[in-house]
Structure 1
Protein backbone atom coordinates (compact mmCIF):
# COMPACT_ATOMS: atom_id res chain seq x y z
CA UNK A 1 0.00 0.00 0.00
CA UNK A 2 1.22 3.52 -0.82
CA UNK A 3 -0.24 6.99 -0.45
CA UNK A 4 -0.08 9.27 -3.48
CA UNK A 5 -1.62 12.75 -3.71
CA UNK A 6 -3.47 12.08 -0.48
CA UNK A 7 -5.01 8.90 -1.90
CA UNK A 8 -4.47 5.32 -0.74
CA UNK A 9 -3.26 3.04 -3.50
CA UNK A 10 -2.83 -0.71 -3.61
CA UNK A 11 0.32 -1.71 -5.48
CA UNK A 12 0.21 -4.83 -7.64
CA UNK A 13 3.36 -6.28 -9.18
CA UNK A 14 2.51 -8.29 -12.28
CA UNK A 15 3.02 -8.56 -16.01
CA UNK A 16 6.36 -7.66 -17.56
CA UNK A 17 8.00 -4.79 -19.38
CA UNK A 18 10.09 -4.96 -22.55
CA UNK A 19 13.05 -6.25 -20.53
CA UNK A 20 10.90 -8.97 -18.91
CA UNK A 21 11.06 -7.25 -15.53
CA UNK A 22 7.84 -7.20 -13.49
CA UNK A 23 5.70 -4.09 -13.77
CA UNK A 24 4.08 -2.36 -10.79
CA UNK A 25 0.55 -1.00 -11.01
CA UNK A 26 -1.40 1.08 -8.48
CA UNK A 27 -5.13 0.86 -7.80
CA UNK A 28 -6.91 3.52 -5.70
CA UNK A 29 -8.54 1.97 -2.63
CA UNK A 30 -10.26 3.03 0.56
CA UNK A 31 -9.28 2.26 4.14
CA UNK A 32 -12.20 -0.19 4.28
CA UNK A 33 -10.84 -2.04 1.26
CA UNK A 34 -7.40 -2.28 2.84
CA UNK A 35 -8.87 -3.62 6.06
CA UNK A 36 -10.51 -6.54 4.25
CA UNK A 37 -7.40 -7.17 2.16
CA UNK A 38 -5.31 -7.35 5.33
CA UNK A 39 -7.72 -9.48 7.36
CA UNK A 40 -9.32 -11.85 4.85
CA UNK A 41 -6.83 -14.00 2.92
CA UNK A 42 -9.53 -15.55 0.72
CA UNK A 43 -10.86 -12.22 -0.54
CA UNK A 44 -7.33 -10.87 -0.84
CA UNK A 45 -6.39 -13.76 -3.13
CA UNK A 46 -9.59 -13.50 -5.14
CA UNK A 47 -9.00 -9.80 -5.76
CA UNK A 48 -5.41 -10.54 -6.74
CA UNK A 49 -6.46 -13.24 -9.20
CA UNK A 50 -9.05 -10.91 -10.75
CA UNK A 51 -6.67 -7.95 -11.15
CA UNK A 52 -3.81 -9.98 -12.65
CA UNK A 53 -5.49 -10.38 -16.08
CA UNK A 54 -5.89 -6.59 -16.23
CA UNK A 55 -2.17 -6.24 -15.56
CA UNK A 56 -1.38 -8.71 -18.34
CA UNK A 57 -3.70 -6.83 -20.70
CA UNK A 58 -1.67 -3.67 -20.08
CA UNK A 59 1.20 -5.27 -21.96
CA UNK A 60 4.78 -4.10 -21.70
CA UNK A 61 4.07 -0.38 -21.36
CA UNK A 62 0.33 0.28 -21.43
CA UNK A 63 -1.64 1.65 -18.48
CA UNK A 64 -3.76 -0.45 -16.18
CA UNK A 65 -7.49 -0.19 -16.82
CA UNK A 66 -8.11 1.44 -13.45
CA UNK A 67 -11.84 1.77 -14.02
CA UNK A 68 -12.10 -2.00 -14.44
CA UNK A 69 -9.79 -2.62 -11.48
CA UNK A 70 -11.70 -0.30 -9.15
CA UNK A 71 -14.98 -1.88 -10.27
CA UNK A 72 -13.74 -5.20 -8.84
CA UNK A 73 -13.06 -3.90 -5.34
CA UNK A 74 -16.50 -3.68 -3.73
CA UNK A 75 -18.02 -6.82 -5.29
CA UNK A 76 -15.05 -9.02 -4.32
CA UNK A 77 -14.19 -7.51 -0.95
CA UNK A 78 -17.71 -6.85 0.34
CA UNK A 79 -20.00 -9.13 -1.67
CA UNK A 80 -21.54 -12.34 -0.37
CA UNK A 81 -19.74 -15.56 -1.32
CA UNK A 82 -22.54 -16.43 -3.75
CA UNK A 83 -22.31 -13.03 -5.41
CA UNK A 84 -18.53 -13.25 -5.70
CA UNK A 85 -18.71 -16.71 -7.25
CA UNK A 86 -21.32 -15.46 -9.71
CA UNK A 87 -19.04 -12.54 -10.58
CA UNK A 88 -16.16 -14.91 -11.28
CA UNK A 89 -18.28 -16.75 -13.83
CA UNK A 90 -18.25 -13.66 -16.02
CA UNK A 91 -14.78 -12.15 -15.60
CA UNK A 92 -11.27 -13.33 -16.46
CA UNK A 93 -9.26 -14.41 -13.43
CA UNK A 94 -5.93 -16.07 -12.84
CA UNK A 95 -6.70 -19.63 -11.74
CA UNK A 96 -3.00 -20.51 -11.56
CA UNK A 97 -2.43 -17.87 -8.88
CA UNK A 98 -5.01 -19.53 -6.65
CA UNK A 99 -3.49 -22.95 -7.33
CA UNK A 100 -0.11 -21.55 -6.29
CA UNK A 101 -1.62 -20.41 -3.01
CA UNK A 102 -2.92 -23.89 -2.19
CA UNK A 103 -6.50 -23.78 -3.48
CA UNK A 104 -8.26 -27.13 -3.79
CA UNK A 105 -8.13 -27.76 -7.54
CA UNK A 106 -11.25 -29.93 -7.80
CA UNK A 107 -13.38 -27.33 -6.00
CA UNK A 108 -11.78 -24.55 -8.02
CA UNK A 109 -12.69 -26.28 -11.29
CA UNK A 110 -16.29 -26.55 -10.10
CA UNK A 111 -16.44 -22.82 -9.38
CA UNK A 112 -16.63 -23.28 -5.60
CA UNK A 113 -13.90 -20.75 -5.05
CA UNK A 114 -14.57 -19.91 -1.41
CA UNK A 115 -14.55 -23.58 -0.45
CA UNK A 116 -11.45 -24.11 -2.60
CA UNK A 117 -9.57 -21.40 -0.73
CA UNK A 118 -10.13 -22.85 2.72
CA UNK A 119 -6.77 -24.55 2.19
CA UNK A 120 -5.07 -21.36 0.93
CA UNK A 121 -1.70 -20.28 2.26
CA UNK A 122 0.25 -17.04 2.21
CA UNK A 123 3.26 -18.76 0.65
CA UNK A 124 3.22 -19.59 -3.07
CA UNK A 125 4.02 -23.08 -4.37
CA UNK A 126 4.92 -22.81 -8.06
CA UNK A 127 5.91 -26.47 -8.30
CA UNK A 128 2.24 -27.19 -7.62
CA UNK A 129 1.33 -24.90 -10.52
CA UNK A 130 3.72 -26.75 -12.82
CA UNK A 131 2.01 -30.01 -11.89
CA UNK A 132 -1.38 -28.41 -12.51
CA UNK A 133 -0.26 -27.14 -15.92
CA UNK A 134 1.11 -30.56 -16.87
CA UNK A 135 -2.10 -32.29 -15.83
CA UNK A 136 -4.24 -29.81 -17.78
CA UNK A 137 -2.04 -30.23 -20.84
CA UNK A 138 -2.53 -33.99 -20.76
CA UNK A 139 -6.26 -33.57 -20.14
CA UNK A 140 -6.53 -31.42 -23.27
CA UNK A 141 -4.98 -34.30 -25.21
CA UNK A 142 -7.44 -36.73 -23.63
CA UNK A 143 -4.73 -38.47 -21.59
CA UNK A 144 -5.73 -39.89 -18.21
CA UNK A 145 -2.86 -41.21 -16.13
CA UNK A 146 -3.10 -44.20 -13.82
CA UNK A 147 -0.89 -44.11 -10.71
CA UNK A 148 1.65 -46.31 -12.52
CA UNK A 149 1.67 -44.05 -15.59
CA UNK A 150 2.32 -41.04 -13.36
CA UNK A 151 5.00 -42.90 -11.41
CA UNK A 152 6.90 -43.78 -14.61
CA UNK A 153 6.82 -40.17 -15.74
CA UNK A 154 8.07 -39.06 -12.33
CA UNK A 155 10.79 -41.73 -12.31
CA UNK A 156 12.13 -40.47 -15.64
CA UNK A 157 11.82 -36.82 -14.57
CA UNK A 158 9.31 -36.08 -17.30
CA UNK A 159 6.05 -35.65 -15.40
CA UNK A 160 6.22 -31.86 -15.60
CA UNK A 161 8.17 -31.42 -18.83
CA UNK A 162 7.83 -34.15 -21.42
CA UNK A 163 10.38 -32.45 -23.65
CA UNK A 164 13.29 -32.90 -21.26
CA UNK A 165 15.88 -35.65 -21.47
CA UNK A 166 14.85 -38.59 -19.26
CA UNK A 167 16.80 -39.42 -16.13
CA UNK A 168 16.41 -41.90 -13.29
CA UNK A 169 14.82 -40.32 -10.22
CA UNK A 170 13.58 -43.08 -7.88
CA UNK A 171 13.20 -40.61 -5.01
CA UNK A 172 10.47 -38.82 -6.99
CA UNK A 173 8.26 -41.93 -6.95
CA UNK A 174 5.82 -43.01 -4.24
CA UNK A 175 7.64 -45.82 -2.37
CA UNK A 176 4.57 -48.05 -2.72
CA UNK A 177 4.73 -47.75 -6.51
CA UNK A 178 8.50 -47.91 -6.92
CA UNK A 179 8.72 -51.75 -7.07
CA UNK A 180 6.22 -51.85 -9.95
CA UNK A 181 8.06 -49.04 -11.71
CA UNK A 182 11.30 -50.98 -11.42
CA UNK A 183 9.62 -54.06 -12.89
CA UNK A 184 8.63 -52.01 -15.94
CA UNK A 185 12.17 -50.65 -16.24
CA UNK A 186 13.61 -54.17 -15.90
CA UNK A 187 11.42 -55.38 -18.77
CA UNK A 188 12.64 -52.48 -20.90
CA UNK A 189 16.27 -53.14 -20.03
CA UNK A 190 15.92 -56.82 -20.84
CA UNK A 191 14.25 -56.02 -24.16
CA UNK A 192 17.19 -53.94 -25.37
CA UNK A 193 20.03 -55.78 -23.63
CA UNK A 194 23.11 -55.88 -25.84
CA UNK A 195 21.72 -53.42 -28.38
CA UNK A 196 24.09 -50.59 -29.20
CA UNK A 197 24.16 -47.32 -31.06
CA UNK A 198 27.03 -46.16 -33.21
CA UNK A 199 28.47 -42.68 -32.84
CA UNK A 200 30.21 -40.95 -35.72
CA UNK A 201 32.22 -38.29 -33.93
CA UNK A 202 32.79 -36.46 -37.20
CA UNK A 203 29.07 -35.69 -37.35
CA UNK A 204 28.65 -34.69 -33.71
CA UNK A 205 26.17 -35.81 -31.10
CA UNK A 206 23.16 -35.57 -33.39
CA UNK A 207 24.48 -38.56 -35.31
CA UNK A 208 23.62 -40.87 -32.41
CA UNK A 209 19.90 -40.19 -32.54
CA UNK A 210 19.90 -40.46 -36.34
CA UNK A 211 21.31 -43.98 -36.07
CA UNK A 212 18.74 -46.59 -37.09
CA UNK A 213 19.65 -48.42 -33.90
CA UNK A 214 17.77 -45.76 -31.94
CA UNK A 215 14.57 -46.70 -33.73
CA UNK A 216 15.22 -50.41 -33.21
CA UNK A 217 15.70 -49.96 -29.47
CA UNK A 218 12.62 -47.77 -29.28
CA UNK A 219 10.44 -50.27 -31.11
CA UNK A 220 11.70 -53.28 -29.20
CA UNK A 221 11.23 -51.63 -25.80
CA UNK A 222 7.78 -50.37 -26.79
CA UNK A 223 6.65 -53.86 -27.79
CA UNK A 224 7.99 -55.50 -24.64
CA UNK A 225 6.51 -52.94 -22.27
CA UNK A 226 3.13 -52.88 -24.01
CA UNK A 227 2.99 -56.67 -24.00
CA UNK A 228 3.60 -56.79 -20.25
CA UNK A 229 1.58 -53.67 -19.37
CA UNK A 230 -1.09 -53.14 -22.04
CA UNK A 231 -2.94 -50.53 -19.99
CA UNK A 232 -0.07 -48.03 -19.86
CA UNK A 233 -0.75 -44.81 -21.76
CA UNK A 234 1.47 -43.84 -24.69
CA UNK A 235 3.18 -41.11 -22.64
CA UNK A 236 4.36 -43.66 -20.08
CA UNK A 237 5.56 -46.19 -22.66
CA UNK A 238 7.38 -43.54 -24.65
CA UNK A 239 9.16 -42.17 -21.60
CA UNK A 240 10.53 -45.64 -20.81
CA UNK A 241 11.72 -46.26 -24.38
CA UNK A 242 13.20 -42.76 -24.51
CA UNK A 243 15.12 -43.52 -21.31
CA UNK A 244 16.57 -46.70 -22.81
CA UNK A 245 17.51 -44.93 -26.06
CA UNK A 246 19.08 -41.92 -24.35
CA UNK A 247 21.14 -44.14 -22.06
CA UNK A 248 22.31 -46.15 -25.07
CA UNK A 249 23.23 -42.88 -26.77
CA UNK A 250 25.20 -41.75 -23.73
CA UNK A 251 27.14 -45.01 -23.76
CA UNK A 252 27.83 -44.62 -27.49
CA UNK A 253 29.26 -41.16 -26.99
CA UNK A 254 31.74 -42.38 -24.38
CA UNK A 255 33.01 -45.49 -26.15
Structure 2
Protein backbone atom coordinates (compact mmCIF):
# COMPACT_ATOMS: atom_id res chain seq x y z
CA UNK A 1 0.00 0.00 0.00
CA UNK A 2 1.46 3.35 -1.03
CA UNK A 3 1.87 6.12 1.54
CA UNK A 4 3.58 9.49 1.61
CA UNK A 5 7.30 9.04 1.97
CA UNK A 6 7.64 11.19 5.08
CA UNK A 7 4.98 9.09 6.82
CA UNK A 8 6.80 5.88 5.92
CA UNK A 9 10.06 7.24 7.33
CA UNK A 10 8.41 8.45 10.54
CA UNK A 11 6.63 5.14 11.03
CA UNK A 12 9.95 3.35 10.55
CA UNK A 13 11.37 5.32 13.46
CA UNK A 14 13.80 7.37 11.36
CA UNK A 15 12.81 10.68 12.97
CA UNK A 16 9.81 12.91 13.64
CA UNK A 17 7.53 13.70 10.70
CA UNK A 18 8.94 17.21 10.32
CA UNK A 19 12.55 16.01 10.48
CA UNK A 20 11.75 13.34 7.87
CA UNK A 21 10.44 16.07 5.58
CA UNK A 22 13.74 17.90 6.00
CA UNK A 23 15.66 14.73 5.14
CA UNK A 24 13.64 14.40 1.93
CA UNK A 25 13.99 18.01 0.78
CA UNK A 26 17.75 17.91 1.49
CA UNK A 27 18.15 14.98 -0.91
CA UNK A 28 19.11 12.34 1.64
CA UNK A 29 16.30 9.89 0.77
CA UNK A 30 16.13 7.50 -2.17
CA UNK A 31 13.37 5.24 -3.45
CA UNK A 32 14.55 2.32 -5.59
CA UNK A 33 17.87 4.09 -6.14
CA UNK A 34 16.37 7.44 -7.19
CA UNK A 35 16.86 10.52 -5.02
CA UNK A 36 13.55 12.06 -3.93
CA UNK A 37 13.33 15.70 -2.94
CA UNK A 38 9.58 16.36 -3.22
CA UNK A 39 7.28 15.85 -0.25
CA UNK A 40 4.31 14.60 -2.26
CA UNK A 41 6.01 11.40 -3.44
CA UNK A 42 4.44 8.13 -2.35
CA UNK A 43 6.01 4.70 -1.98
CA UNK A 44 5.13 1.21 -0.83
CA UNK A 45 7.29 0.21 2.15
CA UNK A 46 6.50 -3.45 1.50
CA UNK A 47 7.91 -3.51 -2.05
CA UNK A 48 10.07 -0.40 -2.55
CA UNK A 49 13.67 -0.06 -1.39
CA UNK A 50 13.95 3.14 0.65
CA UNK A 51 17.22 4.50 2.01
CA UNK A 52 18.19 7.44 4.22
CA UNK A 53 21.77 8.67 3.85
CA UNK A 54 22.53 5.44 1.99
CA UNK A 55 21.12 3.12 4.66
CA UNK A 56 17.94 1.08 4.04
CA UNK A 57 15.18 1.82 6.52
CA UNK A 58 13.92 -0.95 8.71
CA UNK A 59 10.64 -1.30 10.48
CA UNK A 60 10.97 -1.21 14.22
CA UNK A 61 8.44 -2.42 16.71
CA UNK A 62 6.40 0.51 17.94
CA UNK A 63 7.22 1.60 21.45
CA UNK A 64 5.55 4.18 23.70
CA UNK A 65 7.34 5.50 26.79
CA UNK A 66 6.08 7.74 29.58
CA UNK A 67 9.03 9.55 31.18
CA UNK A 68 9.30 11.80 34.22
CA UNK A 69 11.75 14.41 32.92
CA UNK A 70 13.98 16.02 35.54
CA UNK A 71 14.74 19.73 35.54
CA UNK A 72 17.95 20.58 33.70
CA UNK A 73 17.49 18.03 30.92
CA UNK A 74 17.05 18.91 27.23
CA UNK A 75 13.97 17.54 25.46
CA UNK A 76 15.97 16.19 22.54
CA UNK A 77 17.85 13.10 21.43
CA UNK A 78 21.17 14.98 21.19
CA UNK A 79 22.72 18.29 22.17
CA UNK A 80 25.73 19.94 20.48
CA UNK A 81 26.72 21.51 23.80
CA UNK A 82 26.96 18.12 25.50
CA UNK A 83 24.15 18.76 27.95
CA UNK A 84 22.01 15.96 29.33
CA UNK A 85 19.13 14.91 27.05
CA UNK A 86 16.06 12.81 27.73
CA UNK A 87 17.35 9.77 25.85
CA UNK A 88 20.30 9.59 28.26
CA UNK A 89 17.78 8.14 30.70
CA UNK A 90 16.53 5.47 28.28
CA UNK A 91 19.75 3.92 27.03
CA UNK A 92 18.46 0.37 27.54
CA UNK A 93 15.69 1.05 24.99
CA UNK A 94 17.06 -0.21 21.66
CA UNK A 95 14.45 1.46 19.44
CA UNK A 96 14.96 5.06 18.35
CA UNK A 97 12.72 7.35 20.38
CA UNK A 98 11.56 10.92 19.80
CA UNK A 99 9.75 13.27 22.18
CA UNK A 100 6.12 14.20 21.52
CA UNK A 101 6.00 17.93 22.15
CA UNK A 102 8.46 19.62 24.48
CA UNK A 103 9.21 20.49 28.08
CA UNK A 104 11.78 23.24 28.45
CA UNK A 105 15.12 22.91 30.22
CA UNK A 106 13.86 24.32 33.52
CA UNK A 107 10.60 22.35 33.57
CA UNK A 108 10.00 18.80 34.70
CA UNK A 109 7.37 16.12 34.56
CA UNK A 110 5.47 13.99 32.11
CA UNK A 111 6.94 13.54 28.64
CA UNK A 112 5.80 11.03 26.03
CA UNK A 113 8.42 9.47 23.74
CA UNK A 114 7.76 7.12 20.84
CA UNK A 115 8.95 5.95 17.43
CA UNK A 116 5.38 6.07 16.12
CA UNK A 117 5.70 9.13 13.93
CA UNK A 118 2.09 9.03 12.80
CA UNK A 119 0.69 9.15 16.34
CA UNK A 120 3.19 11.82 17.40
CA UNK A 121 2.24 13.93 14.39
CA UNK A 122 -1.45 13.73 15.22
CA UNK A 123 -0.94 14.50 18.91
CA UNK A 124 0.87 17.74 18.01
CA UNK A 125 -1.46 18.66 15.13
CA UNK A 126 -3.10 22.11 15.44
CA UNK A 127 -6.58 20.61 15.24
CA UNK A 128 -6.00 18.45 18.33
CA UNK A 129 -5.74 20.54 21.48
CA UNK A 130 -4.27 18.05 23.92
CA UNK A 131 -5.08 19.01 27.54
CA UNK A 132 -1.97 19.34 29.69
CA UNK A 133 -2.02 19.92 33.44
CA UNK A 134 0.87 21.50 35.33
CA UNK A 135 1.66 22.23 38.95
CA UNK A 136 3.07 25.76 38.85
CA UNK A 137 4.73 27.02 42.01
CA UNK A 138 4.67 30.81 41.89
CA UNK A 139 5.90 33.73 43.98
CA UNK A 140 3.34 34.88 46.55
CA UNK A 141 -0.30 33.79 46.49
CA UNK A 142 -2.40 34.96 43.52
CA UNK A 143 -5.82 36.29 44.47
CA UNK A 144 -8.88 34.68 42.95
CA UNK A 145 -9.45 37.56 40.53
CA UNK A 146 -5.92 37.07 39.13
CA UNK A 147 -6.64 33.40 38.50
CA UNK A 148 -9.93 34.34 36.87
CA UNK A 149 -7.96 36.20 34.20
CA UNK A 150 -6.19 32.94 33.35
CA UNK A 151 -9.50 31.09 33.34
CA UNK A 152 -11.01 33.50 30.84
CA UNK A 153 -7.89 33.83 28.67
CA UNK A 154 -5.14 36.39 29.02
CA UNK A 155 -3.40 38.57 26.44
CA UNK A 156 0.21 37.66 25.68
CA UNK A 157 2.52 39.17 23.07
CA UNK A 158 1.47 36.44 20.61
CA UNK A 159 -2.27 36.86 21.24
CA UNK A 160 -4.99 35.80 23.65
CA UNK A 161 -4.67 32.43 25.30
CA UNK A 162 -7.53 29.97 25.29
CA UNK A 163 -9.41 29.63 28.61
CA UNK A 164 -7.49 27.61 31.18
CA UNK A 165 -8.65 25.50 34.11
CA UNK A 166 -7.05 26.84 37.28
CA UNK A 167 -7.26 25.95 40.97
CA UNK A 168 -5.16 26.19 44.10
CA UNK A 169 -3.13 23.05 44.84
CA UNK A 170 -1.04 24.24 47.81
CA UNK A 171 -0.69 27.55 49.65
CA UNK A 172 2.17 28.61 51.91
CA UNK A 173 0.76 29.71 55.30
CA UNK A 174 3.13 32.70 55.25
CA UNK A 175 1.97 33.72 51.78
CA UNK A 176 5.42 33.39 50.20
CA UNK A 177 4.32 31.02 47.46
CA UNK A 178 1.44 29.01 46.07
CA UNK A 179 1.23 25.97 43.84
CA UNK A 180 -1.47 26.26 41.21
CA UNK A 181 -2.88 23.41 39.14
CA UNK A 182 -3.38 24.78 35.62
CA UNK A 183 -4.69 22.92 32.57
CA UNK A 184 -4.10 24.38 29.11
CA UNK A 185 -5.02 23.12 25.65
CA UNK A 186 -2.34 24.90 23.63
CA UNK A 187 1.39 24.45 23.14
CA UNK A 188 2.92 27.91 22.84
CA UNK A 189 6.51 28.60 23.78
CA UNK A 190 6.87 28.94 27.58
CA UNK A 191 3.15 29.55 27.76
CA UNK A 192 2.44 28.73 31.40
CA UNK A 193 5.36 30.82 32.62
CA UNK A 194 4.28 33.77 30.47
CA UNK A 195 0.69 33.49 31.71
CA UNK A 196 1.78 33.77 35.33
CA UNK A 197 4.21 36.56 34.47
CA UNK A 198 1.23 38.43 33.02
CA UNK A 199 -0.52 38.36 36.41
CA UNK A 200 2.76 39.29 38.20
CA UNK A 201 3.35 35.93 39.91
CA UNK A 202 6.53 34.46 38.35
CA UNK A 203 6.89 30.68 38.25
CA UNK A 204 9.68 29.23 40.38
CA UNK A 205 8.96 25.56 39.64
CA UNK A 206 6.91 23.93 36.89
CA UNK A 207 5.95 20.28 36.67
CA UNK A 208 3.66 18.68 34.09
CA UNK A 209 1.53 15.97 35.67
CA UNK A 210 -0.83 15.02 32.82
CA UNK A 211 -0.71 14.91 29.01
CA UNK A 212 -3.97 13.99 27.33
CA UNK A 213 -5.27 11.09 29.37
CA UNK A 214 -1.82 10.09 30.61
CA UNK A 215 -0.95 10.70 34.26
CA UNK A 216 2.44 10.92 35.94
CA UNK A 217 1.09 9.53 39.23
CA UNK A 218 3.92 8.12 41.37
CA UNK A 219 6.54 7.66 38.65
CA UNK A 220 9.82 8.86 40.14
CA UNK A 221 11.87 11.66 38.63
CA UNK A 222 14.19 10.36 35.91
CA UNK A 223 12.29 7.07 35.60
CA UNK A 224 10.16 5.77 32.74
CA UNK A 225 7.66 3.06 31.91
CA UNK A 226 5.88 1.73 28.85
CA UNK A 227 2.30 2.80 28.23
CA UNK A 228 -0.33 0.24 29.06
CA UNK A 229 -2.52 -1.18 26.31
CA UNK A 230 -5.45 0.85 27.68
CA UNK A 231 -3.41 4.09 27.63
CA UNK A 232 -2.27 3.51 24.06
CA UNK A 233 -5.80 2.73 22.91
CA UNK A 234 -7.04 5.91 24.58
CA UNK A 235 -4.44 8.03 22.75
CA UNK A 236 -5.15 6.38 19.41
CA UNK A 237 -8.89 6.90 19.79
CA UNK A 238 -8.40 10.54 20.79
CA UNK A 239 -6.73 11.34 17.45
CA UNK A 240 -8.67 8.90 15.25
CA UNK A 241 -10.51 11.64 13.35
CA UNK A 242 -7.46 13.77 12.56
CA UNK A 243 -6.34 13.95 8.92
CA UNK A 244 -2.65 14.77 8.73
CA UNK A 245 -2.14 15.18 5.00
CA UNK A 246 -3.08 18.86 4.91
CA UNK A 247 -2.26 21.24 7.73
CA UNK A 248 1.17 20.89 9.24
CA UNK A 249 1.66 19.98 12.84
CA UNK A 250 3.47 22.29 15.19
CA UNK A 251 6.51 21.48 17.29
CA UNK A 252 5.19 22.33 20.72
CA UNK A 253 7.58 24.00 23.11
CA UNK A 254 5.56 23.75 26.24
CA UNK A 255 5.94 24.80 29.83
Same fold (TM over 0.5): no
TM-score scaled to structure 1, two decimals? 0.26
TM-score scaled to structure 2, two decimals? 0.26
**Higher relative contact order, chain-length normalized (CA < 8 Å, sep 6+):** 2
Structure with the bigger percentage of strand = 2
- Larger Rg, first or second structure (1 or 2): 1
